[in-house]
Amino acid sequence: MRKYLLIFVAVFLSMSATAQKFDQLAKTPPMGWNSWNKFHCDVSEALIMQAADAMISSGMKGAGYEYIVIDDCWQISRDENGEIVPDKDRFPHGMKYVADYVHSKGLKFGIYSSAGTVTCQRRPGGFGHEYQDARTYARYGVDYLKYDWCGSTTQDAKSSYTNMSSAIKAAGRPIVFSICEWGSNKPWEWAANVGHLWRTTGDISDNWNSMIDIFNKQKDLARYAGPGKWNDPDMLEVGNGGMTTEEYRTHFSLWCMLASPLMAGNDLQKMTPETKSILLNKEMIAIDQDSLGRQATCYRDNGNYQIWVKTLSNNEKAVCLLNTSDEKKSVLVDFSLLASIRGGGRGFGGPMPPAPAGGVPGMPGAQGAAAQGVPPAGLGAPAAGQGVPPAGQGMPGGMGPGGPGGQRGFTPLTLENYKVRDIWEQKDLVLKETSMYVELLPHAVKVYRFVRK
Ligand code: GLA
């Protein structure tokens, strides 16, 4: 009896040590705008209010973006009671005034701090003030808190973020908690009950190498994402000038395939038609925001040519062909095979098996490659757990066991059940054959949605 009592107490204590975050938030990846990528420390009341206005006039709000987040440098000191003090020169009316304005536009308001003693720009951090700051943020009307990891020295990451999560809960205002410790302590393994999203890497820069490097680091993380708990590969650079339009389209597509938070980081008041055509592509956004909340997994990795699959609700899926090379590629795509594959579920996302020796038939660079007219099966062997059911062994009525890492209720579908939509061309494919050559520009993607007929 005593033994059971001890087990009960231990279980109870371990449960109470786990923060109970507000769990009805961020059921789909948060969408919004953050000041950092474009403006760094040059933030002010006017800038934030103009960003809120531009969020509406640019069509961003209409497309689903809702959070206006002020990053570092809004704060300047603490007063004699330990209260955080906003920079009076830049925010003369204080933060509640800004939050009220953002709310009056039907948008939500976000703010930034750090779990350490200082932020990354050496402004006061939250360490030792967690409960006090959470109450202050609730009073301001904060809806989203990005919590950085600068100034943390010897702190334990899980305890530090759990502490702030509990403080937010205690303050009583539902606030999306965005953990920003750069993936240093594998937050995907412990943060699902602590925050709603967690950075997986260091900071993005506005160039192709930085973006694609971060993307490549997301491969093994799909299993950790889902409604209310998202891997965050950092904010968007679309529209900031350091990449080509094609590369920005790729950046945005990959983030949507990953079910990433979509935090625009550009100047919303000066959006070119190209930038708008990317950030406002509603069909691409719908893939990101799909209610199932699945992160894409890599179906085939042939180095600089990859195929990613994101399972969507209604047994639909998005498929992204990615050319990371500096050369144009022509690939033979078997849409019938793509229609029948399973997208990655929660059980997927482990390391990819290596491509077979000699290359994968039908993949550029392989012997007997697509350009030489390989038959449709040429898309190559699927990765573990993501395959087409063996011929004649389909799962009747969609009630198959799913297999290791598989999805229960998966119904293998054929092109008869689907139409194939090209998301950037915004039109349905007219398929004369089930296979078709597809041209991929350098650093470009093709994104297809398999839509149930
Ligand atoms: C860190 C974060 C960035 C940004 C800056 C602000 O580098 O990772 O996203 O918030 O701090 O100083």
Q: What is the dihedral of CA 31, 37, 38, 44, to 10 degrees?
A: 80
Q: Check if 374 has its Cβ closer than 6 Å to any atom of ligand 1.
A: no
112 Cα nearest atom in ligand 1: 10
pLDDT at position 358: 36
Residue 342's pLDDT band (boundaries 50, 70, 90)?
confident
pLDDT band of 408, cuts 50, 70, 90 = low
What pTM was estimated for this model as a whole? 0.86
| pLDDT for 3 | 56
Which pLDDT score is estimated for 108? 99
Lowest mean pLDDT among 154-163, 308-317, 388-397: 388-397
Average pLDDT over residues 375-396: 34
Say yes or no: CB of residue 71 within 6 Å of ligand 1: yes
Known active-site residue 148: yes
Mean pLDDT taken over the chain = 86
CB-based contact 352:386 (threshold 8 Å): no
Atom of ligand 1 minimally distant from the CA of 73? 12
Measure 395 CA to ligand 1 centroid, in angstroms.
Answer: 48
Confidence check: pLDDT of 362 > 90: no
User: What does the pLDDT look like over 240-292, one tens digit per residue?
Assistant: 999 999 999 999 999 999 999 999 999 999 999 999 999 999 999 999 999 99
Tell me, in angstroms, the distance from the centre of ligand 1 to residue 154's CA: 19
Rounded to the nearest whole angstrom, what is the distance from the C-alpha of residue 106 to the centroid of ligand 1? 27
pLDDT at 391 over 90: no
181 lines ligand 1 (CB under 6 A): no
Is ligand 1 within 6 A of the CB of residue 237?
A: no
Q: What is the pLDDT of residues 39-76, one digit of tens each?
A: 999 999 999 999 999 999 999 999 999 999 999 999 99
Residue 133 annotated to the active site: no
User: 71 C-alpha to center of ligand 1: Å?
Assistant: 8
Can you tell me which atom of ligand 1 is nearest the CA of 146?
A: 10
Residue nearest to atom 12 of ligand 1 (CA): 120
Q: How confident is the model at residue 18 (pLDDT cuts 50, 70, 90)?
A: low
350 has pLDDT over 80: no
* Ligand 1 near 334 CB (within 6 A): no
What is the pLDDT confidence band of residue 321, given thresholds at 50, 70 and 90? very high
Ligand 1 atom nearest 119 alpha carbon:
12
For the cut 90, the answer to whether the pLDDT of residue 8 exceeds it is no
With a 6 Å cutoff on the Cβ, whether 41 touches ligand 1 is no
Does the Cβ of 203 fall within 6 Å of ligand 1?
Answer: yes
Q: Which atom of ligand 1 is nearest to the CA of 121?
A: 12
Q: Is the CB of 149 under 6 A from ligand 1?
A: no
Residues of the chain with pLDDT > 70, as a percent, come to 80
Q: Binning pLDDT at 50, 70 and 90, where does residue 101 land?
A: very high
Residue nearest to atom 11 of ligand 1 (CA): 120
Of the two residues 409 and 182, the one the predictor is more confident about is 182
Among protein residues, the one with the nearest Cα to ligand 1's atom 1 is 120
Ligand 1 atom with minimal separation from the 235 CA: 9
385 has a pLDDT exceeding 70: no
- pLDDT confidence of residue 386: 41
Query: What are the tens digits of pLDDT across the range 108-145?
Result: 999 999 999 999 999 999 999 999 999 999 999 999 99
> Ligand 1: distance of its center to the CA of 54 in Å?
23
Where is pLDDT greater, at 392 or 202? 202
* C-alpha 184 to ligand 1 mean position (Å): 14
**pLDDT tens, residue by residue, 180-227:** 999 999 999 999 999 999 999 999 999 999 999 999 999 999 999 999
pLDDT band at 410 (very low <50, low <70, confident <90, very high): low
Catalytic choice (87, 203, 220, 422):
203
Our mutation pick for probing the ligand 1 site, out of 203, 237, 240, counting the most ligand atoms within 8 A of Cβ, is 203
The pLDDT of residue 213 is 98
* Ligand 1 centroid distance, CA of 36 (Å): 7
Residue 426, pLDDT score: 97
**Annotated active-site residue in 133, 143, 148, 234:** 148
Q: Give the per-residue pLDDT at 2.
A: 56
Of 29-43, 124-138, 174-188, 332-346, minimum mean pLDDT range = 332-346
